Structure 1
Amino acid sequence: MNRTTSNTEAELTVVGIDIGKDVFHLVGFDGNGKLAFRRKIRRLALEETFKTLPGCIVGMEACLSAHFVARTLRRLGHEPRIIPAKYAKPFAKGQKNDYNDAEAIAEAALRPNLRVVREKTQDELDLQAYHRIRSRLVSRRTATVNQIRAFLIEQGIAIRPGLRALRASLFDILKNRADEISPRMSDLIVGLYEDWLWLDKRIETITAEIEKIAAEQAACARLMSIPGVGPIISTALVAAIGDGEAFDRGRDFGAWLGLVPRQYSTGGRTVLGRISKQGNTYLRMLFIQAAKVIIMRPHNWEKFSFGTWLKEAAPRLHRNKLATALANKLARISWSVLRNGRSFDAHGEAVAI
């Protein structure tokens, strides 16, 4: 532990924290930008340590437990700033170690134009956890179904795509092709089917809880007035951005989701490529799925305020490009609905985005 005098700590301006599983590394700077202290503490000593420090800016990277640490420090009178890791990296000097990382975070926290991560409430973290669990269960169910199909194809048995088709024909296949499928393989497939049923039940339970939360929250109800947006997207959006205050406009939110072209421009020449795919992968996937559902039903387009744009864009854009463009529009509308606290009027004027 390397510390200076308490007088220097009294002039403390910013502290950078490198958050670890059990150990935190702290680096503090005074108002002149001089090193005030370096300190290594245990996680359990966090609150006791910052009680002795004057109120100051405390920077940390967005990572596991960052929101908990931020809430704890705010309660103690400090000003926590959660910084995306890629924004802190340019400030790193020398070789990588925990103290150098904490120093880089402290310097990044002082940048006036640096966009920080919005601090989540406990309710938002709980809602986000529901979505993380549901996403993992859906992924495991897909893997289980694919494994059943793979074992059957090894026996020369191909089944048309879709969960319903496989579920309806699986036991008839095992019965009618018993002379081709060994008893061991049949038992394995039946076991996988039981796993599938268990995953279905867990997914239904989590989904029902998410739908219950969506029905209770006014912000989710407003979001569900947007075409293609249901309980899953509305709750995921509220868990991710709250009321949208972290973004100045809907365009910024679309860029954060990675639904805008990647830019590589120099010398006054603008070069745009494919979508950047930055930000929240889960939310981007949900919005693109919603856009594809809308595109599948062209007879409903005229009901939407963006229906005219959709009709004009459909003939000249590839289906995937159209889905991405529509997803971007839905995301921007969603931000506007959250920020302005108004429902989407499908028959009125287009929402200002």
Structure 2
Amino acid sequence: MKLYVGLDVGLEETSLCIVDGEGLTVREVKVMTEPAAIRSAVEGYADRLERVGVEASSLGIWLYRELQPAGLPIIVVEARHMRVSLSTMRNKTDRNDARGIAQMMRLGWYRAVHVKNIDMQKMRTLLTSRKLLKRKLIDLENHIRGALRAYGLLVGAVARGAFEARVRELIEHSDPIFVMTIEAMLDVRRAILEGYDRLHRVLLQVVQHDAVCRRLMTVPGVGPVAALSFKVGVDDPLRFARSRTVGAHFGLTPKRHQSGTSIDFEGRISKQGDVAVREALCEAAASLLLRVRKWSALRAWGLRIAKRSSMLCAITAVARKLASILHRMWVSETDFHVGFGAKVTQRLRLKPAQ
């Protein structure tokens, strides 16, 4: 009889549950969160294992990379679907969660998550680290501006490189304790700025030597960050049967609600999927509509939407269209041309992988 395994992963221990095809519990045990310990726990059932389920998380993905080459049929399950399924259980415990995951594997009530290869995961770490430093840098600058404003000292509009000199100029004749406080913040800001600049240079070097990113950057408005973010988010372009579905994957299509005799209506975009990719696509779309002056069918289409609706709606629509265009360019290995317009996703179809 086929067996199904559920893994509820914790930082130190993992609850493991094995059920048979009829849903009866075969074994329950707690093991260390280590690939070797998990392999040892299911070693006696290896020839009958049908599916092994684990929730999508950093540890879950790590276990997938370690256990999948060893021959275990492990599946990473989308966290949102798993949370809804497990919420029906009366008591929330690690043991019950492992049981619920095992039953999900048996019944097939799950949605598998695509696990990116290790190289794309490293590029994602680079992008997220750079974004974190940039956000902290902005937070520090805003804090310093607010602290000076309380004493009537206004920094004004200055370039990032001239920010520290401007602040030191303003606090030159201030109280020593206040000067020491602001200088401490400036020292922290300088260290963060150096780290951010270092990561940004690495990102530019990666994009410069990547043929896919260079091709994606032929689209007006798409810069190095947007190109690399899109490549990392998609990972394998052939996992999308149609280019038009890429925008929906990153949460750029409207949600729909219909039930019984209620009115069938579409709401705001779903905002599902990778947030970083969605933000990068929206920034690229805003740059195309608001900064780029060169004509293209895509820009003209977006401006028509902005004219009859709003610029925000136009940016969202262009971002969704950009996702389709970038995917098609990647698959067909062609550069952008100004004729790519509103019906590009209807003209160009990707044949299913053989």
CA distance in 1, matches of 2:109, 2:325: 26
2:77 aligned with 1:77: no
Query: Does the 8 Å CA contact 1:12/1:36 hold for their aligned counterparts?
Result: no
2:315 aligned with 1:319: no
CA distance in 1, matches of 2:84, 2:258: 20
Aligned to 2:338: 347
- Does the residue aligned with 2:272 lie in a helix, a strand or coil? coil
Displacement after TM superposition at 1:225 (Å):
2.5
Residue of 20, 39, 58 corresponding to 2:29: 39
Residue of 201, 205, 208 corresponding to 1:212: 205
Distance verdict in 2 for CA 1:98–1:248, change over 3 Å: farther
Distance verdict in 2 for CA 1:86–1:216, change over 3 Å: same
Query: Does the 8 Å CA contact 2:216/2:326 hold for their aligned counterparts?
Result: yes
- Does the residue aligned with 1:306 lie in a helix, a strand or coil? helix
2:122 aligned with 1:126: yes
CA distance in 1, matches of 2:116, 2:42: 21
Q: Deviations over 1:172-219 (max 9, x none)?
A: 3223xx2xx322112222222222222121111111212222233333
Residue of 59, 69, 86 corresponding to 1:65: 59
Residue of 16, 21, 25 corresponding to 2:15: 25
Query: Does the 8 Å CA contact 1:260/1:275 hold for their aligned counterparts?
Result: yes
Query: Does the 8 Å CA contact 2:252/2:269 hold for their aligned counterparts?
Result: yes
Task: Choose 30-39 or 202-211, whichever is displaced more.
Answer: 30-39
- Does the residue aligned with 2:171 lie in a helix, a strand or coil? helix
Displacement after TM superposition at 1:23 (Å):
0.7
Aligned to 1:116: 112
Aligned to 2:327: 335
2:266 aligned with 1:306: no
Query: Does the 8 Å CA contact 1:291/1:327 hold for their aligned counterparts?
Result: yes
Distance verdict in 2 for CA 1:270–1:141, change over 3 Å: same
Distance verdict in 2 for CA 1:216–1:115, change over 3 Å: farther
Aligned to 1:7: none
Query: Does the 8 Å CA contact 1:233/1:287 hold for their aligned counterparts?
Result: yes
- Does the residue aligned with 2:328 lie in a helix, a strand or coil? helix
TM-score (norm 2): 0.86
2:230 aligned with 1:237: yes
Task: Choose 202-211 or 26-35, whichever is displaced more.
Answer: 26-35
The sequence identity of aligned pairs, in percent, is 25
Aligned to 1:8: none
Distance verdict in 2 for CA 1:13–1:227, change over 3 Å: farther
Residue of 255, 269, 280 corresponding to 2:274: 280
CA distance in 2, matches of 1:262, 1:329: 17
CA distance in 2, matches of 1:347, 1:228: 13
Distance verdict in 2 for CA 1:129–1:332, change over 3 Å: same
TM-score (norm 1): 0.86
Task: Choose 17-26 or 165-174, whichever is displaced more.
Answer: 165-174
Distance verdict in 2 for CA 1:114–1:209, change over 3 Å: same
- Does the residue aligned with 2:206 lie in a helix, a strand or coil? helix
CA distance in 2, matches of 1:287, 1:249: 18
- Does the residue aligned with 2:68 lie in a helix, a strand or coil? helix
Distance verdict in 2 for CA 1:203–1:111, change over 3 Å: farther
Corresponding pairs, count:
336
Task: Choose 323-332 or 244-253, whichever is displaced more.
Answer: 244-253
- Does the residue aligned with 1:60 lie in a helix, a strand or coil? strand
Residue of 193, 217, 228 corresponding to 2:221: 228
Query: Does the 8 Å CA contact 1:256/1:279 hold for their aligned counterparts?
Result: yes
Unaligned regions of 5+ residues in structure 1, if any?
1-10
CA distance in 2, matches of 1:228, 1:270: 35
CA distance in 2, matches of 1:214, 1:262: 34
